[in-house]
Amino acid sequence: MDRKSLLKFGFITLLLVSSTVLSIGSIENFYEEDFSDLEYCDKEFCHENYIELHVCDQWQNEEKGSHYKDVLNLRSREKVEHQSVDDNYTPRDPIYINGNDDFHDKAEENNWFGDGTEQNPYIIEEYEICGRDTETGHPNYAVIIRNTDVHFEVRNNFLFGASHPNPGSSTSAVALTNVNNGVIRNNKMRSNSHGINLLVGSSYNEVLNNTLIDNDRAILINSNNNTIAGNNVTIEDGSPMFSLGGIYLRDSAEYNTLTRNRISKYYDTGGEGRGIYASELSNNNLIYHNIFIDNEVHALDHGDNIWNKPYPTGGNYWDNHTEPDEYSGPDQDEPGSDGFVDEPKEIKGEGDNVDKYPLTTPTPPKVEEEEDDDVLDRIRDIPGFTSLMLLPSVMIAVAIYRKKKE
């Protein structure tokens, strides 16, 4: 291979690697997305596209009001013979996994990709799962995983109907108990008591880029050291009857990172709807670069948590706290605007919490030197990634060296 061909090969390789980084790091574009036209199986869509609609079953609870009847508008996969909401979804029964060996057996049984290693995680994807028992009407889970530390992803699924009239129910679309190394990514979850439930002992998991609509509690965290990033949490068809938070930090949830989530329209006919709720035992959680829009109460924090990163990375966007912005600097006492509200945002609750650097717009200021994005850090940590980035340059240098020796 001559020098010209080698240079061309190195350049093409570098382009391919760069495009891979951009596609994996698409969470960077989260703030530029338009969430006004979300696609999911709502009542009108289903009525237009399917001849016969049913609930997961014929269960309802008159005393709990109309919210739980909304579940009746979701179709039963057993009674609809037409194509799914998305052609890529395959209807199936709920998934229950208990232990690493059971995960291995289920993966073989269902032909799931992967072997459970970090480099090759199990993949559960493109399913449509109703989270109720269609025969008994009892609440169920769409996906429940317990007692595992293998690597896996639950991604690109439509999970719905895991709802229960009892506000204390832990019924969830996805529930993890004593689970590490899981990724819940790019799923659509609708009309569940909980969308995603990280129960006791579930750490070092990632919840990324999910769309959660009309869930009583969209994401519940009762564990430590998890990353919740890039999720769209909203209420579309009226309020839940019982809401403790779009994202709820429960009991002793600690050292979790919540960033780049959009939380909107959380309100509650029975009390105060909260965008994020943190109990008195939930401490040391990092909450920044989230977007709060049109919630009854954006945040209620009874613990001791961190609501911003140091200047100039900043805090969160609050639609009721966007001005003034006449000063800049770490103490907001230098002339000139900087994209941060001059006055801190006090967080309601029994904890003494503030967002020191509220954002003036949903898009945070660009910080060139900032390299602390959790998701991008994970990409950089992929084994061999750095070597792959340097490969074209190394090959070119070696070729030139050999050419000179000739």
Q: Which residue has the tokens 């919840």?
A: 207
Q: Count Cβ atoms within 10 A of the Cβ of residue 199 and give its class: 0-12 exposed, 13-18 middle, 19 or more buried.
A: buried
* Strand-strand pairing, 245-249 and 217-221: parallel
| Amino acid 171: pLDDT | 82
d(CA 156, CA 210): 9
Q: Count Cβ atoms within 10 A of the Cβ of residue 25 and give its class: 0-12 exposed, 13-18 middle, 19 or more buried.
A: middle
Q: Which residues on adjacent β-strands are paired with residue 227?
A: 206, 257
Assess contact for 150 and 100: CB atoms under 8 A. yes
Q: Which residue has the tokens 């006090």?
A: 346
| Amino acid 312: pLDDT | 96
Q: Which residue has the tokens 């090969």?
A: 9
| Amino acid 316: pLDDT | 98
Q: Which residues on adjacent β-strands are paired with residue 286?
A: 257, 306
| Amino acid 267: pLDDT | 76
Supply the angle between the helices 3-24 and 385-405 in degrees, to the nearest 10: 170
| Cα 391 to Cα 36, 74, 126, 257, distances in angstroms | 43, 51, 35, 33
* pLDDT block averages, 10 residues each, the chain of length 406: 53 44 40 35 31 30 33 32 56 94 98 97 96 61 95 96 65 94 96 90 97 90 97 75 76 95 80 84 97 93 96 97 96 96 96 96 74 45 38 44 50
| Amino acid 162: pLDDT | 84
d(CA 372, CA 355): 19
Assess contact for 203 and 228: CB atoms under 8 A. no
Q: Which residue has the tokens 């900087």?
A: 338
Neighbours of 16 (CB within 10 A): 11
Q: Hey, is 145 helix, strand or coil?
A: strand
d(CA 199, CA 179): 9
